């Protein structure tokens, strides 16, 4: 995630916020989908590319998603939108981790109870948890594409003149001269 950070803003400027979010969740979806194919014979090296795809994708989607949440509200609501966006990201992440862990544990225990070897049970549990995360990431792509329907209103002459006036008329900050 850290390595992709410098590329996020230029990419989001080039393809747009909605595109960056969709591409990010798309990469994560592909990474999670690859993990649904896990076998007990996989070496650690086989996990590297899917995990890089997941990390890069989620890193790419994160910043533009936060930006989109604050860009879609009035200036006096940016703080509230930012707080809600952060809360939703933390709660959503926590719930996704809990759901994936629950699926992993339940499937692994069921497979072990059915007599599968530990390696087979673990691989099946991971594959099912990855399937859940694949579905969640694909939903992120869908939401990003649907979120693109919002278009901010074009500023009118009143907005433009207020912006010009705010840049040219300032309140003096130096104390008044003594009398």
Q: What is the pLDDT along the chain (179 residues), one digit of tens a residue?
A: 788 888 888 888 899 888 999 999 999 999 999 999 999 999 999 999 999 999 999 999 988 888 888 887 888 888 898 899 889 989 999 999 999 999 999 999 999 999 999 999 999 999 999 999 999 999 999 998 887 665 556 666 665 565 555 444 445 556 667 77
The pTM for the full model equals 0.77
Q: How far apart are CA 62 and CA 162, in angstroms?
A: 33
- Is residue 171 included in any domain, yes or no? no
Q: How far apart are CA 173 and CA 157, in angstroms?
A: 29
- Is residue 178 included in any domain, yes or no? no
Q: How far apart are CA 93 and CA 129, in angstroms?
A: 14
- Is residue 51 included in any domain, yes or no? yes
Strands (E), the chain: none
- Is residue 141 included in any domain, yes or no? yes
- Is residue 162 included in any domain, yes or no? no
pLDDT at 132: 98
Q: How far apart are CA 127 and CA 133, in angstroms?
A: 10
pLDDT at 167: 47
Nearest to 81 by CA among 92, 63, 69: 69
Q: How many domains does the chain have?
A: 1
- Is residue 132 included in any domain, yes or no? yes
- Is residue 77 included in any domain, yes or no? no
Tokens representing residue 135 in the block? 């579905």
Residue with tokens 């862990």: 101
Give the chain's radius of gyration (CA, Å).
23
Asked if 35 and 127 count as a contact pair (C-beta separation under 8 A), the reply is yes
What's the residue count for the chain? Answer: 179
Q: Which range marks the domain in which residue 23 is found?
A: 5-68+83-150
pLDDT at 53: 96
- Is residue 41 included in any domain, yes or no? yes
């Amino acid at each position: 995630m850290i390595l992709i950070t410098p590329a996020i803003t230029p990419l989001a400027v080039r393809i747009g916020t909605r595109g960056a979010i969709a591409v990010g969740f798309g990469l994560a979806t592909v990474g999670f989908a690859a993990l649904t194919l896990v076998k007990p014979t996989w070496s650690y090296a086989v996990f590297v590319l899917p995990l890089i795809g997941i990390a890069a994708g989620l890193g790419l989607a994160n910043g533009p998603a936060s930006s989109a949440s604050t860009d879609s509200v009035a200036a006096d609501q940016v703080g509230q939108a930012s707080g809600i966006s952060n809360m939703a990201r933390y709660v959503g992440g926590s719930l996704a981790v809990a759901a994936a862990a629950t699926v992993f544990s339940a499937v692994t225990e069921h497979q072990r109870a059915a007599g599968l070897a530990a390696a087979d049970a673990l691989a099946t549990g991971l594959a099912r948890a990855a399937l859940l995360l694949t579905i969640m990431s694909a939903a992120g792509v869908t939401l990003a594409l649907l979120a693109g329907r919002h278009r901010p209103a074009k500023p009118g002459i009143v907005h433009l003149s207020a912006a010009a006036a705010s840049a040219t008329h300032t309140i003096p900050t130096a104390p008044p001269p003594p009398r």
